[in-house]
Structure 1
Amino acid sequence: MPTDHHHPHQTKQRDSNVATLARAWKSLRIHLLAKVATFDLSMTLLLAVFLLGWLPIGNVEGFAAEPGSIQVATFDLDVTPPVGSMMAYDPVRRHDELGLRCRGLVIVGAGQPIVLCAVDWIGIANGAHDAFRDALATAAETTPDRVAVHCLHQHDAPRSDFTAEQILHHAGATDLGGFESSFQRDVLQRLSQTVTAAVPHAQTITHAGFGTATVEKVASNRRLLGPDGKVKATRYTACGDPELRAEPEGTIDPELSCLVFYNGTKAIASLTYYACHPQSYYRTGVPSPDFPGIARIIRGQDVPETMHIHFNGAGGNIGAGKYNDGNKANRLVLAARVADAMKRAFDSAERFPITADLISWSVAPVALPPAPHLDRDQLQATLENPSSPEAQSAPANLAWLGRCQSGHKIDLACLGVGNVRVLHMPGELFVEYQLAAKKMRDDLHVAMAAYGDYGPGYIGTEIAYGQGGYETSQRASRVDKSCEHVLMDSIALLLGKAE
């Protein structure tokens, strides 16, 4: 087994010494360069070479890196809303033993830093998604296009949409509901501080690993088709109808993927990906990470020295309804099944040496066409009539439509780690996109994180928009059916399969 070349205590002491020296030299350099103007030209050049040569420009302060190596800094923040604040559907009544987390990592050494972030909220949309990426980019000293922010989509959790909030303010609304964002802005400030503090403690990564495992009896397709090819029923994540639970699983991706970063034999971070709506039960008034978050907690207890970060895959049309009748005891049953797959994928991960040249980050900005039913004048009229049944969704619909009409593009991204590719996608994406991406590059290990920018809502396949059902209804989806071609072309580009 490969081992770390440095004793852990020596490494920690060395990194501390380097950080102290770096700060001292930075302070001295600023002071002396301010005095340089009083010297003659030859002394100026000499001091410039001396001072600028000591600390390599562009290196992250706080640790020394081997040439060609990468480093990973992890971060973890409590993002549980306070009692009395509004979540996506209900105000917080109380807290229980669990809370909501914002976790991620910063990859340093492969060009500008790369930031991956997963949040236990229902969704972060539009201007809020921009703000989170901007804040993380500033904290990690990188650019927003090298930052991916995703939610796990738990329902007893907050939403965040600064654009919708602004629309309500302009309309003179006094009740902002779940769009009131003072807590979310506080989280942004604390998250920036957390990441800034984490980066100097980045650890050298010697190896990466990738493993998969089949998740048993969790995921099932929500959209049950009749003989005519239309959706006859929706099997939600909690399904009390035994006839619907008896229907086949349908199209799912049963595979949970696990990407691990190691320092020698120690796993620094474990990133898992699995496509499924995460609700066992909700509308309790108690913030909950639900069964995927509990699975993550279980893994944290099993392997406490590793940061466990979970991403929801393309689970827009996937839930646990076949295996969950709504009995509250099922939350732990589902969590145990996911945790078991996380363990098996982690334990079976195939390790390989990793250097900076094996890390890549690609971005494909896309303009997703808005749904044809979105009409600005109608939405504005709805917004001004709070008693309308559609008034609650009007701010988010107006926010998304305005972004589209302004020419805004969403960044699709792909992280490359050796022969691993992780796609970072927006919205409540259908699982068919994930399956198609894996099939497109079956010579690589492909994983997917969806629920990035939450603005588009559900993103179905083209055929799904003619099949009916909740997910592609006007209530749920804000994009046109032609999105399939836009997304599949960009996925092919990111995976190196564009024609």
Structure 2
Amino acid sequence: MNLCAGTATIDISPKSPMQLDGYPHVRRVATGTHDPLLASALYLQNGDEAVLLCALDLLMLNGDFARRLRQRAAAAINLPESHVFISCTHTHSAPVTARYLPFGDEAVLRALDPAFLAQIEAQTAQAAEQARAAAQPAELTWRTADARGVGGNRHDPNGPTDSEAGVLGVRSLAGAWLAVAVIYGMHPTVLHEDSTLVSSDFPHYTRLHIREQLGQDVAVLYHTAPCGNQSPRYFVNSQTFAEAERLGRKLGAAVVATLRAAPECAGTPLAGALCPVALYPRHLPAVSTAEKQLARYRAEHEELLVAGAKRPRVRTAEVAVFGAEGTVALVTAAGDGRLARLLADLQPFEVQALRIGEVCLVGLPGELFVEYSFAIKRRAALKTAVVAFVNGELQGYIVTPQAVAAGGYEAAGRLFEPEAGDRLVATALNLVERLAVGAG
């Protein structure tokens, strides 16, 4: 069979000023658009099998809306849902698109706009249809780019980090690049809460660089890998667009270099699988315990400010306060029934996998520490790239036991214990095993 590929890129930017998401306790209504938010789609077909990849420049989606998005896109191009793979880039400069209890009682700041959600749903399906309609004979290659220096561990610059960026390149038979999918794990948080411009953050410049080098019509899909403990915190000189450009172009250059290094044509089997996984919320502490933790973290943050500590340490302490506030918010929501109602909407939690050639793309819900990505990549039956923010979020981070012991932002505000990460890994490995032997 011959592989065919089609692409589409659609501007999904808000049409009016909206509150930007990603940082708590701040009114941050967009004053303009620095770069458009995109829905980038890649349709691949080989005989009777086809898959769709789509990357959305959004922070995150709740599970119920993510499923609706997937269902509509799948119906639009007549594919099973297991073959439609949609993720969020996790930019912190896009409008609010999810209910998120750890940010507390911010109903005004975090109000969802039904019109914007309807726009996203319609335009994602439109991108799927356009990508399928544009399909032409093609070939693909899987490569790995060295992204060292772009970002790293946000608690310890020498701590665990994954500098490997997965790269899927698709070319026409005439040799023109049609699409590049990049899978890399770092928070798109060069821009902070003082920025009021809509932006995809550093991935914008990664896309820009790739298009400048490989062709302006190339569709660039940016998929964020597990990055719960990964960010540019220790790797930026400032929280500016100039720094976003420096890091984004550095990643783009690594991607272009690996694609130009005599790219081989990969095999082209296509398959998909989707499986629910049971995740159980942790036993939340008493309100008094949560409030004591919050008071301690606030005191530690204040001590660092008074001592004139360096910015990365101060920021780590500041977000630890956010995490402790998240625990208080979750405890409160559990007490009044809001947490149970939201969890009912978020389920089922799902793990997804696509086989594209001799590589699997694993999709996990939520925001996991990089160690869980390592666990999948090291043990999977096929070479695997792991993507986060697929099929919804998990109201907080999936951290490691070591992170729970150490405390801090992600561990303080978590809804699930590390055991949830182990369940997600086990389910992912089972799906890859199925696809490795040819079962969708």
When normalised by structure 2's length, the TM-score is 0.78
State the partner residue of 2:352.
413
Identity level (%): 22
1:277 is aligned to: 187
How far 1:366 sits from its partner (Å)? 0.9
Indicate if the aligned counterparts of 2:87 and 2:388 stay in contact, CA closer than 8 A.
Answer: yes
Q: Which residue of 1 aligns with 2:172?
A: 263
Task: Identify the match of residue 154 of structure 2 among 200, 219, 222.
Answer: 222
Q: 2:235 aligns with which of 323, 327, 330?
A: 323
Kept in 2: contact 1:291–1:332 (CA 8 A): yes
The match for 2:83 is 146
The answer to whether the 8 Å contact 1:99/1:287 transfers is yes
Q: Secondary structure at the match of 2:408?
A: coil
Mapped to 2, the partners of 1:268 and 1:122 lie a distance apart of 26
Give how far 1:349 is off: 6.4
Matched, 1:296 2:183: no
CA distance in 2, matches of 1:395, 1:268: 49
Distance apart, 1:417 and its partner CA: 2.3
Compared CA separation, residues 286 and 176, structure 1 to 2 (3 A)? closer
User: 1:12 aligns to what?
Assistant: none
Which residue identity does 1:429 align to in structure 2?
L
Alignment-derived partner of residue 451 in structure 1: 389
Matches within 5 A, 1:57-456: 68-88=1-21, 90-109=27-46, 111=48, 113-161=50-98, 175=108, 177-205=110-138, 207-224=139-156, 248-264=157-173, 265-283=175-193, 284-304=195-215, 305-328=217-240, 329-348=242-261, 350-352=263-265, 354-355=267-268, 358-373=269-284, 401-402=340-341, 404=343, 408-441=347-380, 444-452=382-390, 453-456=392-395
Contact 1:127 1:162 in 2 (8 A): no
Conserved in 2, the CA contact under 8 Å of 1:216 and 1:337?
no
What is the aligned counterpart of 1:461 among 400, 415, 433?
A: 400
Tell me if structure 2 keeps the 8 A contact 1:118–1:311.
yes
The 2-side partners of 1:84 and 1:91 are apart by 10
SS of the counterpart of 1:351? coil
Structure 1 residue 334: Cα displacement? 1.1
Counterpart-to-counterpart distance in 2, 1:81 and 1:308: 20
Q: Deviations over 1:436-459 (max 9, x none)?
A: 222214x84321111221234311
Secondary structure at 2:281 match in 1: coil
Distance in 2 (alpha carbons) for counterparts of 1:472 and 1:370:
13
1:393 CA displacement: 7.2
Aligned equivalents of 2:262, 2:222: Cα separation in 1: 16
Contact 1:73 1:202 in 2 (8 A): yes
Secondary structure of the corresponding residue to residue 221 of structure 2? strand
- In the alignment, the residues of structure 1 paired with residue 223 and residue 188 of structure 2 have an alpha-carbon distance, to the nearest angstrom, of 11
Number of positions where the alignment pairs a residue of Structure 1 with one of Structure 2 = 383
Separation of aligned partners in 2, 1:349 and 1:447: 21
Residues 392 and 290 from structure 1, CA distance in 2 versus in 1: closer, same or farther, beyond 3 angstroms? farther
Correspondence for 1:488 = 425
Q: Deviations over 1:437-483 (max 9, x none)?
A: 22214x84321111221234311123422321111213xx2222211
Deviations, residues 128-181 of structure 1 (Å, cap 9, x unaligned): 2112112211222123232222111111112323798xxx9xx9x984734233
Q: 1:353, CA displacement in angstroms? A: 5.0
Distance in 2 between residues matched to 1:134 and 1:209, nearest whole Å? 28
Query: What is the CA deviation profile of residues 326-370 of structure 1, one whole-angstrom value per residue up to 9, with x for unaligned ones?
Result: 352322221221111121222236422544xx2222223212222
77-86 or 248-257: bigger deviation: 77-86
The whole-number CA distance in structure 1 between the counterparts of 2:54 and 2:330 is 27
- The alpha-carbon distance between structure 1 residues 464 and 110, as it changes in their structure 2 partners (threshold 3 A), is farther
1:473-494 CA-to-partner distances (Å, cap 9, x unmatched) read: 13xx222221132122112212
Instruction: Please state how far the C-alpha of 1:95 moved relative to its aligned partner.
Output: 2.0
Q: Would the aligned equivalents of 1:123 and 1:158 in 2 still touch at CA under 8 Å?
A: no
**Structure 2, unaligned runs of 5 or more:** 287-324
Taking the aligned partners of 1:137 and 1:146, their CA distance within structure 2 comes to: 8
Any gaps of 5 or more consecutive residues in structure 1?
1-67, 225-247, 376-388
Q: Secondary structure at the match of 1:496?
A: helix
Looking at structure 1, the residues matched to 262 and 63 of structure 2 have their Cα atoms a distance apart, in angstroms, of 36
Letter in 2 for 1:212: T
Match of 1:31 in 2: none
* Contact 2:71-2:81 within 8 A present in 1 as well: yes
> Would the alpha carbon gap of residues 209 and 370 (structure 1) be closer, same or farther in structure 2, given more than 3 Å must change?
same
SS of structure 2 residue aligned to 1:322:
coil
Q: Is the 8 A contact 1:275 1:312 kept in 2?
A: yes
Conserved in 1, the CA contact under 8 Å of 2:186 and 2:230?
yes
**Runs of 4+ residues deviating >6 angstroms:** 389-400
Normalising by structure 1, what TM-score? 0.69
Distance 1:151 1:330 in 2: 22
Question: Contact (CA 8 Å) 1:127, 1:163: kept in 2 or not?
Answer: no
Q: RCO greater where, 1 or 2, for CA within 8 Å and sep 6 or more?
A: 2
2-side partners of 1:407 and 1:281: how far apart? Answer: 29
Residues 395/197 of structure 1: CA separation in 2 closer, same or farther (3 Å cut): farther
Counterpart code for 2:250: R
Distance in 1, matches of 2:94 and 2:182, equals 21
Contact residue 374 and residue 478 of structure 1 kept, 8 A: no
Structure 2 distance, partners of 1:488, 1:285, is 37
Aligned mates of 2:273, 2:395 — CA distance in 1: 22
CA RMSD of aligned residues (A): 3.1
Give the conservation status (yes or no) of the 8 Å contact 1:134–1:144: yes
CA distance in 1 between counterparts of 2:190 and 2:165 reads 19
Structure 1 residues 418, 374: CA separation in 2 closer, same or farther (over 3 Å shift)? Answer: farther
